[in-house]
Structure 1
Amino acid sequence: MHRSETTPSSPVALSASATQLTWQENGHDCQDEWRSERGAPVPKRVVLADDTLSADSAYRLACAGTGMLWRGDFQNARLLLQALARRCDAPKKVRRASKTYPEVTHTPQENFHLHRQAQSQRARTLSMILIQVNPDRQISLRRAPDWREAMKEAWGPAGTTGCVTSLRELLGLVGAHEWHQKGMEISALGSAPHNRIHPSYGVFSPVRGEYIQLVADAPLPSTELAFDIGTGTGVLSAVLAKRGVKRVVGTDLDPRALSCAKDNIQRLGLKDKVELVQANLFPDGKAPLIVCNPPWLPARASAPIERAIYDENSTMLKGFLAGLAAHLAPKGEGWLILSDLAEHLGLRTRAELEAWIAEGGLKVIGKLDTKAEHKKVQDESDPLHAARAAELTSLWRLAAK
């Protein structure tokens, strides 16, 4: 494989296959592996680009689905990405209502799907600036940073081949590395400095503190054993252990989540209290307390990390409710932590949720509610503001009938 050391003076067309980018540069045939953690396909068309490319031209190319393999100054690529983001986020002209074009109103569900489409298109557009990474994880561009540690954390040790990936994904990778290094303070875990959770790349951060506080405040039915279903970073397992539960078993299917949870449990000095198991929902046996915080919105995830938010067809939620009674010890409780945002968006009804609870042989013995506290609740420009402003997060205390 040949890598050019010179920057082309003008864009050159490339060809793209399913997993490889192949192009001719300075009279040589070149190719590299395509890498996308979010599962994005190889751009259908790619051009070589450098500092001479204007933001308007780049935006037109990106909107058309054309990737730009960067050959200029690295920091200029970052500035170009910011310029593309401003163009994506600029207010769109709204056609004035008339007899020919009457005003169209949408249901909350339609607003949600339109918002998701817009977010997906924005992600595709901003992913069209491409960066080539050498086999040793260096980036051979002027003023390129050394991100080898972040790449190692996310991708594992360097191999024998390089790759091409989007600058946007690289920045996300580095941001996740910085979060992992710094950690985030969780008040429910006690006083600093022993109250930080360190999210790993690809594992959803526990940014919604209100649901964690619900678990910290709810009355414990037992301190002997608890199951934490879908542990993620391990934050709820840690909260339960800190509250005095003698043994906690956290489960997850994602190896990255289990590795992240293990790291956090060790950092907090709780490895003697918390066991981590790779499992689809429940571990073997029964427990007097079983906790689950499933994804809240029944929609398809467009990237792996979004599976912490989107649960297509409410698969995890329904699976938890269907299997809970069989895994509860006598007089045990299942705690379902769930936002009602899906109800306000018209994606799920309260009647459906209550029916799934009843079909699982369960009854509601109590419920704790809290208002959402995240920034979007106050953002009136958010297309989903009305639903977010009405959102409640609840801890449903469930027991077998």
Structure 2
Amino acid sequence: MSATLPKSPDALMTVRERHLKVPIVLAIAAAMLALLLLALPRDGVTTFDFGGASSARVEVPTAVTSWILVAVMVVLTALAALRSWAYRTVPLWLTIPFGVLAITAFLVWAGADGLVPLTSLLVGAISLSVPLVFGALGGVIGEREGVFNVAIEGQLLLGAFSAAVLSSLTGSPLVGLVGAMLGGAMVAFVLAAFAIKYLVEQVIVGVVLNVLVTGVTGFLFGALLVPNEDLLNSPERFAPIAIPLLSDIPLLGPVLFNQTLIVYLMYVAVAVVAWGLYRTRWGLRLRAVGEHPQAADTVGIRVNPTRFWNVLLAGAIAGIGGAYFTLVSVPQFGKEMTAGLGFIALAAVIFGRWDPVRATLAALLFGFTTNLQNLLTVLKTPIPGEFMLMLPYLVTIIAVAGFAGQVRGPAAAGKPYIKS
């Protein structure tokens, strides 16, 4: 019979840290909404229009419903605080309902004695989110394998330009879509060459590429597209495709299943990237070269070629987001038409903690807030118009600073690998 020596107290000691940031942010959000209801009380009836063939509408009392939703938000905040105090993480099943309740309460307050076209609001949010989702997926792939993809803005812009020109020349939106992928990959190729081959600072390369693409497309727009608009800037666009049965589902049907090919590609891309990143050899190798390239090299993974080809893949995916501008949203290419959305997509990557699904949810949130500002202007809420204009960017800052905070990204992101 052998005796087991007791471990020293130092060996048994573990350090546990409470992460209270999420409960604090939830509490601040609930408090701000409550203060809004107190400072600018609105009474009456809010009508939600669900659209569709029957145009179903639901009427709710404004004041009572708003306060009930705020009370439920307080309960969820308390649950989040209890989990954090017990050294447990706050899961998505708690934060997502909180966000839905907060948005609903705000819409009920804003729509007092008015009509809230819920289906139109969600369709517009999806439309504004598509480029952000594709850009965020490109950012996730790039940073997961160790390369900061700051050039998302340039990839979106050149993708939109290429799609418009090729679709105009051929009369085929599919050719334009392929051209957009090639345009995004071209920007990614330059990023990969300088960052991986020549070891240039990746953030600087990304910023320079954004400026370069903005200048080149702006010059070509004025020199070629404006004088030859009918030939080079009249792209054939994708038409919506209604999926039988699914498109008839109330509310969700018109929003999700009466969309264009690019939106359906977005659904597939999110699912494939999320599955591939965690369930395939490709994903394992990609994450390995982004976390510990020396160890990956030791087991036979070619680090720099793996990074190079995946940067091109990330650029091609982001290019699809650019195609949405000219093949779906707007009938022609416009100078600087991406308007900084590439940087919002980069924020979605950080907010989503370098996870495809979380980054997609973050992109959808930013798209929703952008579309919400238009609705609030129509409803004539007592909120200043200047605040409406800054609402999407304010939500971006709060989301990244409040929820993402100091989360750790891939360990080797932004660090070139030099084989010893």
Q: Same fold (TM over 0.5)?
A: no
TM-score (norm. length: structure 2): 0.24
Structure with greater helix share of residues: 2
1 or 2 for the larger relative contact order (CA 8 Å, sep ≥6)?
A: 2
TM-score (norm. length: structure 1): 0.24
Structure with greater strand share of residues: 1
